[in-house]
Every structure is written in C-alpha cells, then in structure tokens.
Structure 1
Amino acid sequence: MPPKRIAFLVFPRLTMLDFIGAYDALRRVAAMSIDPEVTHRIIGTDAEIVDESGLKLTPDSVYEDLSKFDLLYVAGGLGTVTLMDNRRAIDYLKTWGDERPLASVCSGALLLAAPAILKTSARRPTTRRWSSCVRSAARW
C-alpha cells in the first residue's frame, strides 16, 4: 500500500525550503486528484516554528502520535544540531519504528542518524551531504 497519510516534522531553525518543497509536491497529489486519499499533517516540536530567516509557521499539532501515519518526512536546517541533543525529539522519532517509510532532506538526515533510529534499522540510509555524514559519524 503506498503512503496515504504523510506527517511532516518541523522544528525551530529549519530551512523552510527543505520543508515546503516536499510539502508542496506531496500536497498536490491530492489537490490535483492524482490520489485524493493522500492526506498530510504538519507536526511541530513547538506550537510556533521560526525558521532560520525568521519566517513563522504554525504546525497543525505538536508531537502528535505518529502511529496513524504512513510516511514521516523530516526537514533539514540549522535547528537539527539543537534537536540532536533534545531527548524528547529523539525519543519521539524513535516511536516511528522501522516498518514504515521515512524520508528526510539535507541535514534532517542527522536527526535520523541518532542512536537507534537508523542504526538499528533494516533501512539503508543515503545522503548527498558528505559534511553532514562526517559530523554525524563523529557524534554517533
């Protein structure tokens, strides 16, 4: 079954383009009647998200239960560095498990490289961000 319910995780100091690019493309799947059953929710780590440039975004919910979603998308941005030390955020991501698809862009992959998220997963992670890989390897 292809993903139908998509969760987008947003957090302070994200790169808005990392979120909005995927969000816009995936929301059009339903909007253009390609697959009207596709739904999405924007889930934040905070009630108000301020990106790297100061742009504000109000998510649909904060730390919403992920069990009802088919795909989790994690944006990137400078805020990933702070989130890697946020026990609540890491524990939240761990609730995703390893049976459902997981996607990220840019430094969002750093959050997924946290202990027990990708390391214990059967997934084969890929990234094009060599500098992020080096930072992540040194950290974990």
Structure 2
Amino acid sequence: MTACYQYPVSMPPHRVAIFVYDGVTLLDVAGPAEVFKEANRFGADYRIVLLSPTGADVTSSLGVRIAVDGAVSSEPAFDTLLVAGSDHYPRAHVPADLAEAARRPAAVAGRVASICTGAFVLAAAGVLDGKRATTHWQVAHELAARHPTCRVEPDAIYVRDGSTYTSAGVTAGIDLALALVEEDHGPDVARDVARALVVYMQRAGGQSQFSAPLQGPPPRSPALRRIADLVTANPRGDHSLGELAKHLNVSTRHLTRLFHDELSTTPARYVENIRFDLARAFLDQGHTATQAATLAGFPSYESMRRVFARKLSISPAAYQRRFSTARRPHPD
C-alpha cells in the first residue's frame, strides 16, 4: 500500500455531493467517491455526501441499498455536484421530477459533472444545452438524438465545457475525478492518488478502443452487402475500387455514388474499416500485431499502425496490451 504523505492544507473544505436515485449504477458512485476520499490522505479536504431527490435511501442497479445523507433540495450550494448514471436511462426517458431534482442544485453548484449515463439526467435538466458533452460510447448517439443542441463527443473519456464536466462509461468516472483532483490540488496529488488506487492517471486514446468490433449494421442495399461479405470473407484479396466495381458489374463512378449515398464514405475507406475491425478481433484473440495486419488484409504492419493511430490514438501494441486474451491461438 502507498504510504500516506501529508501535504499542507491551504484550501477550505471542498463540498462534493453525489446525486443518486433508484437504479443508480453503484460503480458510478463508489469510483469517484474513492478518488476524493483517497485525495484526503494526500492533503485534500473533500467532504462527500450522498443525496437523493427526496432524501430517502435508494436501491442501486445491483439491488444494494444506498444510505443517503439527505435530500438534494434541502442542502446549500455545493462546490462540486456529481450526477451518477443508471442503466434505466437511456432505455427510458428521464422522469420530469428526477430532471428537476438535478436541475436546482446544478444551477448553483461551483461545477457540475456526470458519470456515464448521468449525462442523460443533466441533459434532461437542461444543463447540457449548447454544450459539449460525452457519455458511454454505446448510447452517445441516443444522447445526441434526444438533445440536438448538445454537441456529443462519443470518443472522449471526459469532456469539460466551462464548469460542466461529463464522462464516459462507469470507470471513466475515476478518470474524471482524478482530473478534478488535479484541477484542485495539482498533478502531484492526483498522481499520488492514481498510484494508490493502481489506476492510470490519464488513459491514452479515447472510448473507441473499448467499443465492440464489427458492431455496425450491414448495408441496406444488396449490392453493398455483397461487397461487405466479399471483403469480410477474404480481407487479403484485391479490393480496389476497380475490382469491386467489376464484382458488381457496375462502373466505378456508380459504386462510389452508392457508398456515398448510403454510408457517407468511400469504397476504400469502407474496406479499411472492415480490415480495422478484423485486426482488432485478431489482436483480441492473441495474434501478434504483424499477424493481425496480414490476416486482416493490410499491406503492412505500418499501414495498420497508421489506421489505429488515426482511429484510436494508440498503437496496435498498446491496444493489445489492454484487451487481448490471455490465451494464445493454437498454431495451425
């Protein structure tokens, strides 16, 4: 365990309220709270309270009862208000009374933050109108669709827009809390907290590295579905624009227009996306980066590396260290 170093306290107590409600995700609450509690060991003075809409205890998504300190409306303004997320939202719309319960303290807090799908609560309360924000990659599109004035950044681990902060899925609440500690007390204290909790102080790359490969729906048109099947079945084949057009017996111009009209991309970029998804799957299975590049149809490891850097902001090797299976594939 990391030793407890005491830093001189030069700031008044910082009051942190975590807004909870029935169905709340327990890790959204515990993760950030643990960061602030740990920061107190290194000289910070965070005073953490759990508040619910009515002051009644709540039940988490795991069925664990959470004892709260009071009703959010009965407390004075907080330095930091954190709104935890829930699996209930975005599957359902945020109830008006829950949104209103969050809106009032958010209007007077020094800064407001959401963890994961807590962004849906903040957005329903109007807090994210006209602001940049993020949430879990699986539901970022839903947040953007429900709240079109909110500029959703689906790949961000967390986003700051003025005094409003939003973070990605569950454990990203720890990343956000570390960033808030660094903002309050500097990088040394935040680094000590990260080391004590055995987490990264700042993770490389964005949310895309965590999203599921091959998750997109197939093309609607039979012609483009044939192209998708062809490339997936034989990613190492010649899938140049000319060869793909020959396969469909259409002109290159017509094929390019089909991709643009339905998928808003080019044939070359579509082939690259399939190869990228396949390469991620091969890396997940334990293949080396060079093997993954070959199996996925990339001309070279370097060409695959450039695609990973552009899409995920990390290298194939860094991706594999995070996500590959402990089991290695059996040799053929």
Task: Tell me: CA distance 1:103–1:48, structure 2 relative to 1, closer, same or farther (3 Å).
Answer: same
Which amino acid in structure 1 is aligned with residue 62 of structure 2? Answer: S
Provide structure 1 residue ranges, at least 5 long, that are not aligned to the other structure: none
What residue in structure 2 maps to residue 90 of structure 1?
99
Residue number in structure 2 paired with 1:102 = 112
Mapping 1:19-58, distance limit 5 Å: 19-30=29-40, 32-36=41-45, 38-46=46-54, 47-58=56-67
Name 2:145's counterpart in structure 1.
138
Gaps of 5+ in 2: 1-10, 148-332
In 2, Cα distance between equivalents of 1:66 and 1:119: 25
Query: Are the aligned partners of 1:12 and 1:79 in contact in 2 as well (CA < 8 Å)?
Result: no
Tell me which moved more, 44-53 or 70-79. Answer: 44-53
Alpha-carbon offset, residue 75 of structure 1: 0.9
More helix by share: 2
Residues 49 and 58 in structure 1, CA contact (< 8 A), matched pair in contact too: yes
**Counterpart AA for 1:20:** A
Separation in 2 of the partners of 1:83 and 1:60? 27
Verify the 8 A CA contact 1:16 1:51 in the aligned structure 2: yes
Higher relative contact order (CA 8 A, sep 6+): 1
* Structure (1/2) with the larger strand percentage: 1
* Alpha-carbon distance change, 117 to 83 in structure 1, aligned in 2, over 3 angstroms: farther
Residue 76 (structure 1) aligns with? 85
8 Å CA contact retained: 1:84, 1:90 = no
Q: Relative to structure 1, is the Cα distance of residues 18 and 10 closer, same or farther in structure 2, using a 3 angstrom cutoff?
A: same
1:41-65 Cα shifts (integer Å, max 9, x gaps): 1001351211111111111112334
Q: Report the residue type matching 1:50 in the other structure.
A: T
- How far residue 82 of structure 1 moved from its aligned partner, in angstroms, is 7.9
Kept in 2: contact 1:6–1:73 (CA 8 A) = yes
SS of alignment partner, residue 124 of structure 2: coil
Sequence identity (%):
24
Q: What's the C-alpha RMSD, in Å, of the aligned pairs?
A: 2.7
Q: What TM-score, normalized to structure 2? A: 0.36
1:128 is displaced (CA, Å) by 4.9
1:113–1:119 contact (8 Å) kept in structure 2: yes
Q: Equivalent residues in 2 for 1:115-130 (5 A)?
A: 116-119=126-129, 124-130=131-137
CA distance in 2, matches of 1:56, 1:6: 21
Q: For residues 48 and 115 of structure 1, what CA distance do their matches in structure 2 show?
A: 22
- Residues 58 and 68 in structure 2, CA contact (< 8 A), matched pair in contact too: yes
Task: Flag the 1:99–1:74 CA change in 2: closer, same or farther, 3 A.
Answer: closer
Q: 1:67 to 1:132 in 2, by over 3 A?
A: farther
Runs of 4 or more off by more than 4 Å in structure 1?
A: 81-84
| Secondary structure of the structure 2 residue equivalent to 1:41 | strand
1:131 match: secondary structure: coil
**CA distance in structure 1 between the partners assigned to 2:93 and 2:49 by the alignment:** 22
Provide Cα deviations, 1:19-46, integer angstroms capped at 9, x if missing partner: 100011112233x15123x212100135
Shift of 1:138: 2.7
Query: Does the 8 Å contact 1:3/1:70 carry over to 2?
Result: no
Bigger mean CA deviation after superposition, 91-100 or 64-73 = 91-100
Task: Assess if the C-alpha contact under 8 Å between 2:82 and 2:114 holds in 1.
Answer: yes
Q: What SS is found at the alignment partner of 1:18?
A: helix
Amino acid at match of 2:142: R
AA at the equivalent of 2:121 = L
TM-score, normalisation: structure 1: 0.79
Correspondence 1:16 to 2:26: yes
For 1:67 and 1:98, how far apart are their aligned partners in 2? 9
